[in-house]
Amino acid sequence: MSTYLWHESSFIPSQAHPGPFDVADSWRMLANAHSNALPLHLQRFESVAGPLPTGFVPAMLQLVGPGDLFPRISLAGGHLRLDIRPAPPARRTTRLTYVQAPDPRTQPLVKGPDFPALAGFRAEYQADGTDDTAIVDASGAMVETTTGALVAWDGDTLILPTGLALPSITLRQVTRRASDLGIHTETRPITLELAAECPLWFLNSLHGMSPVSELHAPTGVIHPPHSPHTTGWQQWWWGCFRRETAGD
């Protein structure tokens, strides 16, 4: 990982910040600086951190090298930072842990401040062999996971979860496309019972649409059914990557 600090209108090499962050944002970048919905990620970051300095984005893009990367920008202690990290392979499917435990989030609408609490939540509750852990409300419905959003499909209806969750960029893209295609959406509790009967997708800007293949619950492992929509939506999302230039 390469880390930079924004100082006097340019990036300078720095040491990794141990946290916590006031706000952070991250996205996958493919070879030759291709990204998906970067302006939306920057807007989400600026909605908390305030406008980025002139020249920040062009300078950031000039530092992004070849390869599959997962850059992160952050604000902490009044300083803007950039971490350029290698991206892991995109998950074909996602295995989730389901646990009814106290919600670790203190600022669910802001990405960054709760990173340490979410890491601790995974360390305490995540089952071996699973990729992430669901956060549930008092009724037991899944609101999101520690690193992504959740949606389900009931036939041709897209089900959005209830509860307070991070304004996911990937979820925003999915709901916008569903609207464009005339697909009906409903907000409904995503319970274990629903997951046993309806396809369940994990969404984030690193993995795109990753079907949940296993849901490890205290009563056993649930295998949500396959959705016929998956392949088409995955192809659409990966097709949204475009080349960013320093002049953007």
Task: Calculate what percentage of the chain has a pLDDT beyond 90.
Answer: 92
- For range 195-217, the mean pLDDT: 98
Band (pLDDT 50/70/90 cuts) for residue 71 is very high
Residue 37 has pLDDT above 90, yes or no: yes
Look at residue 247 in the predicted model and tell me its pLDDT: 55
What local confidence, expressed as pLDDT, does residue 186 receive?
98
Per-residue pLDDT, 66: 82
CATH fold of 94-238 reads D-amino Acid Aminotransferase; Chain A, domain 2 (3.20.10)
Q: Identify the pLDDT of residue 67.
A: 87
Rounded Cα distance between 232 and 61, Å, is 30
Q: Is the pLDDT of residue 11 over 80?
A: yes
The residues spanned by each domain of the chain are 2-88, 94-238
Q: What is the DSSP string of 182-236?
A: T--EEE--B-HHHHHHS-EEEEETTTEEEEEEEEEETTEEE-PPPPTTHHHHHHH
What would the mean pLDDT of 95-114 be, rounded to a whole number?
Answer: 97
Q: Is the pLDDT reported for residue 244 higher than 90?
A: no
pLDDT mean over 91-102: 97
Are 23 and 48 spatial neighbours (Cβ–Cβ below 8 Å)? yes
pLDDT tens digits along 108-166: 999 999 999 999 999 999 999 999 999 999 999 999 999 999 999 999 999 999 999 99
Map residue 41 onto helix, strand or coil: helix
